[in-house]
Amino acid sequence: MPSTASQPAATAVGSTTVDLRTGLPIALVSAAAFGLAGPLAGTMLVTGWSPAAVVAGRVGGAFLVLLIPCLFLLRRTGLPSGRQTRRMIAYGIVAVAGGQLCYFNAVQHLSVGVALLLEYLAPVLLIGWLWLRRGQRPSATKLVGAALSLAGLALVLDLTGEVRISLVGVAWGLSAALCLCGYFLMSERTTAAPPPLLMTTVGTGVGAVLLLLAGAIGIVPLTTASAPALFAGHPVPWWVPMLALALVSAALAYISGIEAVRRLGSSIASFVALSEVILAVVFAAILLGQIPTPVQVVGGILILTGIAVVQTPPGTLVGPRSTRRRLDHGRR
């Protein structure tokens, strides 16, 4: 998107300034970090770890890693306000723990691909929320991009073959989608928005405690193992993929994800986050030797096309020097 040489490319979308030049790379870093979680966790699941134990270790490890930097931040900025504290706790409950617990319950009743497809309806749900709640009517280009992205997602998840579906599982899957919506909405920049480092530290700490409590009372199984994991075909101690999960797929993923939402807005950031599925397939091919099928490649192309279409302005107002474009967001 055109811009002046000294300023980042930005457009005004409603009350949100969209900075594609810096926001898009950060969003892709976050998507790559989240996408690495599945293949890394896969190396541990085959040794006997339960999914909930892996996630609890991942977010709990991130909390421990970020705790000292967070304390230095608080020493400089002071304690958060009451509104910020409530927002961070809600973030940990909904975005970190809630989404994981809903997804775990969904896969008990649904095929994994179906559960993921339901969870990744979040960008579409966000379009409806922003329209009803904030009056941000979606453009035709955004709707087309959403349709392309969802079609590509279905292909990448490869829903062919035997598919398990139940009403209970669908309810859990949609609940996971709502939690994902909460992740994007609570990451937005507002007057009560804590710094990304602080929000991630508190959120992962709250999420880890809730996941461990859920395991203790039997909502999800918590099983660990000490056997070596196969990392890119080589046996490594179990703590190597766990450390990568904590540092990359939790700490880096959440911090960069929050920053991306604040630069792109929740709607655009949610569609860019769909690239996580593509990157997860790529990482699975590298780490686990799971080569994507031609159908998955086509699906990935559709997702990327949809993301590009979503970011296309429905109309432009060209300034005197033709260096800026603003979305014609319609008149209310």
How is 33-93 classified by DSSP, letter by letter? HHHTHHHHHHHHHTTT--HHHHHHHHHHHHHHHHHHHHHHHHHHH-SPPHHHHHHHHHHII
For residue 189, pLDDT beyond 50: yes
Q: What is the pTM of this model?
A: 0.84
- Cα distances (Å, whole numbers) of residue 293 to 5, 125, 151, 289, 298: 42, 29, 16, 12, 9
Mean per-residue pLDDT, 78-106:
93
Report the SS3 class of residue 189. Answer: coil
pLDDT band at 259 (very low <50, low <70, confident <90, very high): very high
Q: What is the pLDDT of residue 165?
A: 76
**What six digits make up the tokens of 203?**
């959120």
* pLDDT > 90: percent of the chain: 49
**What average pLDDT does the chain have?**
85
Q: Could you report the per-residue pLDDT of 40-80, keeping only the tens digit for each?
A: 898 899 899 999 999 999 999 999 999 999 999 999 999 99
Q: Could you report the per-residue pLDDT of 107-130, keeping only the tens digit for each?
A: 888 888 888 888 999 999 999 888
Report the SS3 class of residue 293. Answer: coil
**How deeply is 173 buried, as exposed, middle or buried, from its count of CB atoms within 10 A (0-12, 13-18, 19+)?**
buried
Q: What is the pLDDT of residue 209?
A: 96
Mean per-residue pLDDT, 236-254:
95
Mean per-residue pLDDT, 131-147:
86
- Which range (256-260, 275-279, 314-318) has the least confidence? 314-318
Q: What is the pLDDT of residue 161?
A: 65
For residue 264, pLDDT beyond 50: yes
For residue 153, pLDDT beyond 60: yes
Most confident of the following: 89-93, 132-136, 276-280: 89-93
Q: What is the pLDDT of residue 176?
A: 94
- Cα distances (Å, whole numbers) of residue 141 to 54, 87, 213, 315, 327: 39, 33, 44, 10, 12
Chain position carrying tokens 């060209």: 318
Any domain includes 200: yes
User: Do the Cβ atoms of 11 and 313 come closer than 8 Å?
Assistant: yes
Q: What is the pLDDT of residue 3?
A: 35
Domain of residue 217: give its range. 10-310
Any domain includes 212: yes
**What six digits make up the tokens of 155?**
């292909």
Any domain includes 131: yes
Any domain includes 92: yes
Count of domains in the chain? 1
Any domain includes 183: yes
Any domain includes 1: no
For residue 13, pLDDT beyond 70: no
Non-local CB neighbours of 271 within 8 Å, separated by 6+ positions: 123, 145, 146, 149, 306, 307, 310, 311
Side-chain-facing half-sphere of 196: CA atoms under 13 Å: 21
pLDDT band at 320 (very low <50, low <70, confident <90, very high): very low
Q: What is the pLDDT of residue 142?
A: 85
For residue 223, pLDDT beyond 50: yes
- Cα distances (Å, whole numbers) of residue 209 to 98, 205, 255, 298: 12, 6, 19, 40
- Between 38 and 27, name the one with better pLDDT: 27
Q: What is the pLDDT of residue 164?
A: 73
Mean per-residue pLDDT, 327-331:
37
Rounded to 5°, angle at Cα 174 from 170 and 179? 145
Q: What is the pLDDT of residue 314?
A: 61
Side-chain-facing half-sphere of 166: CA atoms under 13 Å: 12
Non-local CB neighbours of 254 within 8 Å, separated by 6+ positions: 30, 62, 96, 196, 199, 200, 203, 204
Q: What is the pLDDT of residue 219?
A: 87
Any domain includes 320: no
Any domain includes 35: yes
Most confident of the following: 10-24, 78-92, 109-123: 78-92
